[in-house]
Every structure is written in structure tokens, then in C-alpha cells.
């Protein structure tokens, strides 16, 4: 295997034998042999379940790859085979470097042993010599932060404490490859943040295989994403693209196959070139360094939905409800989303997200809360217009997009009729965001000294 490859999976499959009754397992171990000796056709007393089927991929050293998929799709089975705790039915796995894994809760621990004893046992399983574990035990104990429970049997631990202890160990064994399953989801917010800080530091030099249902975490952490569904690898690509396709499949599973819809050419009036120049001159003259250069609504943007409604226009407006060609961070704007009904909508919902170039949601809103008691019904052929008035945050320099959608129903039980990814793209030329994803338009900042506290 190339020295640049950390993990290579080739034609990997895993098939389980499922028995309807316990005694069928005994029959299967005896009767087929007897039937073969007697010259009779052999009979199977089990049914096969293909947990994984012909999965192949490579992960280079230093990559952080996210794996997404619904429950039962085969993600955990794949990780267990990569870690060596489960044997494949066919195919091969090659790894280069020490692997540390955080898989199912309590895996690798003896419930009768104390936390201290399990630290030494688990570290030894991961290949860390006892002398090194002793030297690092104080750091492991501090990272886990479970207090006196370190001397208690782990069978008395909560799920959160188990994760704390397990992650503390794998964070201190000098791993080359880190495999993290959904176990982090049970930790509290403070410990999750600690784990994320460690992961981001580890990602600078190590290889990470990260499994999560939280597509936002996959977008934020990963350089690549793999989608596993019903044992098959459906797609590999950028986290943004893969997560968008996964979202579409989620809605299709809930409400049926999407209708193939394509937005017709938008009827939005084009902002005159003179108006664009005038606004650009105003921004330059005011020395405002947080411009957002807007582009037109994209009728060919990727979309999905049942098709009983269709987004027809998306645009930013100023205080006089005139179309904007530029936006300055901190000014009051209106995001207008227009849609047309192709059937009766008794409780329509229109919403939007502002996303960064990786597809990470920065902020957004929808009309549900304001109109849940008095829904605005819309008949076939009618148009809906939703105006969202807000103060535009200051955005760090980079590429951004607006995703919009129209649905019918409630916040938690609705039919998605038209979801448009990256309906409008724009960029920020900001030089004033000190840190974080967005900057707040401060009214004032004051700093002073006082003689003493009263």
C-alpha cells in the first residue's frame, strides 16, 4: 500500500446469518452435512442479511472523512471491520498506522474493573506500553474529569462518564488514525467542546474517520464525506454536496419521490447597471469595507420537493423595498422569497438559510412561528411573498449562498414542496470581522478605568 494511504478498503462485504428460532442454529450446524452425506439437497435454516456490499474507498494520511447514513445503513459495521473487531465476509482492509477508536458505549471496557484499571487495559489494547500509560495517567484522568469515580467499577458509570473515560484514553495513545462513532453525541456540551478542540488539533497531523448523523458537524470538520445506505456506498465527495443529497433522500423517504421540478426563468426585474454603479460609488465613498456583492437568483440551482409549490424568485431589498446589488454588513435589509402554488396549500411555510462555502448554516428563519395560529392559505396558481426583515451581520471574507424552501404543514410535520440549494450566491469582501463566523454590528464599544468596585 502506498505510504500516502492511511486506510484502503477493497470490495468489502459483510453478511450475517439471521435465524428465526434458536434451534435453527443447531439445525444449520448439523442437518446440511447429513443431507450432503445422504445425497439429498441441502437446506438452509437461516436468511442472509447483507450489512455491507462491495464497499471500496481509500483515505489518505491527514484526511478527515465523514461517514453519514441512516440507522442500520452499515456505518458501525464498517468501522468495526476497519478497527479489526469484526471480520469481513469478503474483501480486504489495509491500514497504515496505530488506530484508536471510540465506537459503541463501553466497548473495550470491563464493567467489573475500575476506571483506573480500564484505562491501563484499554491503552494496552491500543498498543501503548504500560510505562507510557503510567506516565500519562494524570493527564488522562484530568481530561476525563470524572473525579473519584475513576476508582469505581465502570458498571456504575453513566453513558456520559463512559464516553469521557474512553475519549480521554484515545486522546493520549499517540494514534495515527482516529475513528469516532456517534458515541460523542451523549456527552455534555462542555466535554463535547473539549473533544472538538482535541479533534481539530489532531486533524493537523492525523487521519480521522468521523461518523455522525449531524451533517453540520460533518460539514464543519471533514474534508471529504462518504454516504452509506443499506450497505452500499452511494456517494463520495465534498461534505456540502454529499450532505445535500443525503437531505434530499431523507425527505424522499418521509414523503415519497420528489417531483422533477425546474424553476422557470425568474421574472425578477434586473437591477440597472447605472443603479449598481451608483450603489458601488456610495459604498466606496463611505469607505465601508464590508460589502456583499450579490448575484442573480439561479433558476438551475439543485432542488427537490413534491412540486405542489415552486420558488420563483429570491432577492434582497433595501428599506424602500428596492432591489439591492450590494449589501453592507450592519444595514437593515429585506430578504424577499416569492413562490407559486401548484395546488392548495392550507398552511404554507417559507424559510431560508445563509450558508458559507462549506454549506455550514450561519443563520436563517422561517414563517412558521409568526403564522402558526393564522396560516395564510394559498390556492392553485396564486403567488406567495415572504419578507424577512433583519440587520445584515458582518460576514468574514469569502463565498456565501442562500438556500430557500417552501413546505406545507407544521414545523415538525410538513411536506417539502421545493427546496433550492444555493438559490443565490454572493461574496463578502469584509476586512472588519475580528473572529468567528459572523461579526455583530456593534452600536458602540467603551473601555474605561474605575477607581474601585462599589
**What is the H or E stretch that residue 163 is in?**
helix 159-170
Rg for the chain (alpha carbons), in Å? Answer: 28
pLDDT in tens, 123-161: 998 889 999 999 999 999 999 999 999 999 999 998 888
In the 8-state DSSP scheme, what is residue 149? Answer: G
**Which CATH code of 2.70.50.60, 3.40.50.720, 3.30.750.200, 1.20.1250.20 fits the domain covering 258-433?**
2.70.50.60
pLDDT in tens, 392-425: 888 888 889 999 999 999 988 999 999 999 999 8
Which residue pairs from 28-35 have beta carbons closer than 8 angstroms and sit at least 24 positions apart in sequence? none
The number of C-alpha atoms within 13 Å of 88 and in the hemisphere containing its C-beta is 22
The number of C-alpha atoms within 13 Å of 415 and in the hemisphere containing its C-beta is 17
What does the block give as the cell for 132?
507510557
The list of the chain residues with pLDDT below 70 reads: 1-3, 41, 104-107, 182-187, 259-295, 430-432, 434-435, 452-454
Q: Give the C-alpha separation, 392 to 316, whole Å.
A: 11
Q: Give the C-alpha separation, 209 to 194, whole Å.
A: 18
How many Å is the maximal CA-CA distance in the chain?
102
**Burial classification of residue 219, based on how many CB atoms lie within 10 Å of its CB (0-12 exposed, 13-18 middle, 19 or more buried):** buried
For 138, residues 6+ apart whose C-beta sits below 8 A from its C-beta are none
Q: Give the C-alpha separation, 387 to 215, whole Å.
A: 28
Q: State the residue for C-alpha cell 439561479.
A: 298
Quick one: 5-252 is in which CATH superfamily? P-loop containing nucleotide triphosphate hydrolases (3.40.50.300)
pLDDT at 263: 35
| Closest CA relative to residue 305, chosen from 361, 357, 267, 343 | 343
Q: Give the C-alpha separation, 441 to 208, whole Å.
A: 37
The alpha carbon of 346 is separated from its chain's Cα centroid by a whole number of angstroms, namely 32
DSSP-derived 3-state class of residue 180: strand
Q: How many CB atoms lie within 10 A of CB 72?
A: 12
How many helices and strands in the chain, by DSSP H and E?
A: 10, 21
Task: Please list the helix, strand and coil fractions of the chain in percent, rounded to the nearest 5, in that order.
Answer: 30, 35, 35
5-252 and 258-433: identical CATH topology: no
pLDDT at 19: 84
For strands 99-102 and 177-180, give the pairing.
parallel
pLDDT at 434: 65
Q: Give the C-alpha separation, 206 to 97, whole Å.
A: 10
For strands 383-391 and 332-341, give the pairing.
antiparallel
**What is the H or E stretch that residue 95 is in?**
strand 90-95
Predicted structure pTM score: 0.77
Q: Give the C-alpha separation, 413 to 418, whole Å.
A: 15
* Domain range list for the chain: 5-252, 258-433
Helices 159-170 and 189-202, interaxial angle, to 10°? 20
pLDDT at 454: 54
pLDDT at 431: 60
Amino acid at each position: 500500500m502506498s505510504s500516502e494511504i492511511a486506510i484502503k478498503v477493497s470490495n468489502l462485504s459483510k453478511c450475517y446469518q439471521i435465524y428465526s428460532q434458536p434451534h435453527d442454529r443447531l439445525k444449520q450446524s448439523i442437518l446440511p452435512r447429513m443431507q450432503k452425506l445422504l445425497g439429498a439437497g441441502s437446506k438452509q435454516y437461516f436468511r442472509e442479511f447483507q450489512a455491507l456490499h462491495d464497499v471500496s474507498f481509500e483515505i489518505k494520511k491527514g484526511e478527515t472523512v465523514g461517514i453519514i447514513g441512516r440507522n442500520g445503513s452499515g456505518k458501525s459495521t464498517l468501522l468495526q471491520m476497519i478497527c479489526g473487531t469484526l471480520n469481513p465476509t469478503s474483501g480486504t482492509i489495509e491500514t497504515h498506522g496505530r488506530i484508536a477508536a471510540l465506537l459503541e458505549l463501553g466497548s473495550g471496557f470491563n464493567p467489573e474493573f475500575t476506571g483506573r484499571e480500564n484505562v491501563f487495559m484499554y491503552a494496552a489494547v491500543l498498543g501503548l506500553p504500560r510505562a507510557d500509560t503510567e506516565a500519562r495517567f494524570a493527564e488522562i484522568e484530568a481530561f476525563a474529569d470524572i473525579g473519584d469515580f475513576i476508582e469505581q467499577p465502570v458498571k456504575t458509570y453513566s453513558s456520559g462518564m463512559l464516553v469521557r473515560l474512553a475519549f480521554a484514553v484515545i486522546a493520549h495513545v499517540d494514534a495515527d488514525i482516529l475513528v469516532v462513532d456517534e458515541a460523542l453525541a451523549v456527552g455534555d456540551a462542555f466535554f463535547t467542546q473539549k473533544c472538538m478542540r482535541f479533534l481539530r488539533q489532531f486533524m493537523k497531523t492525523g487521519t480521522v474517520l468521523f461518523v455522525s448523523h449531524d451533517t453540520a458537524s460533518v460539514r464543519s470538520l471533514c474534508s471529504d464525506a462518504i454516504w452509506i445506505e443499506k450497505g452500499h456506498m452511494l456517494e463520495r465527495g465534498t461534505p456540502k454536496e454529499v450532505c445535500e443529497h443525503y437531505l434530499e433522500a431523507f425527505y424522499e423517504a418521509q414523503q415519497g419521490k420528489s417531483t422533477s421540478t425546474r424553476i422557470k426563468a425568474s421574472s425578477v426585474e434586473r437591477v440597472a447597471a447605472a443603479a449598481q454603479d451608483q450603489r458601488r460609488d456610495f459604498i466606496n465613498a463611505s469607505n465601508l469595507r464590508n460589502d456583499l456583492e450579490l448575484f442573480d437568483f439561479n433558476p438551475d440551482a439543485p432542488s427537490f420537493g413534491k412540486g405542489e409549490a415552486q420558488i420563483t424568485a429570491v432577492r434582497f431589498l433595501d428599506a424602500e423595498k428596492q432591489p439591492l446589488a450590494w449589501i453592507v454588513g450592519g444595514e437593515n435589509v429585506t430578504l424577499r422569497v416569492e413562490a407559486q402554488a401548484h395546488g392548495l396549500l392550507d398552511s404554507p411555510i417559507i424559510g431560508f438559510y445563509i450558508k458559507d462555502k462549506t454549506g455550514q448554516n450561519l443563520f436563517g428563519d422561517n414563517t412558521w412561528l409568526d403564522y402558526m395560529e393564522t396560516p395564510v392559505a394559498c390556492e392553485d396558481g396564486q403567488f406567495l411573498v415572504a419578507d424577512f426583515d433583519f440587520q445584515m451581520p458582518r460576514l468574514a471574507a469569502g463565498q456565501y449562498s442562500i438556500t430557500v424552501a417552501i413546505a406545507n404543514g407544521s414545523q415538525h410535520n410538513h411536506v417539502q414542496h421545493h427546496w433550492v440549494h444555493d438559490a443565490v450566491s454572493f461574496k463578502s469582501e469584509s476586512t472588519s470581522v475580528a473572529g468567528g463566523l459572523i461579526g455583530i454590528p456593534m452600536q458602540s464599544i467603551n473601555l474605561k478605568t474605575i477607581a474601585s468596585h462599589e
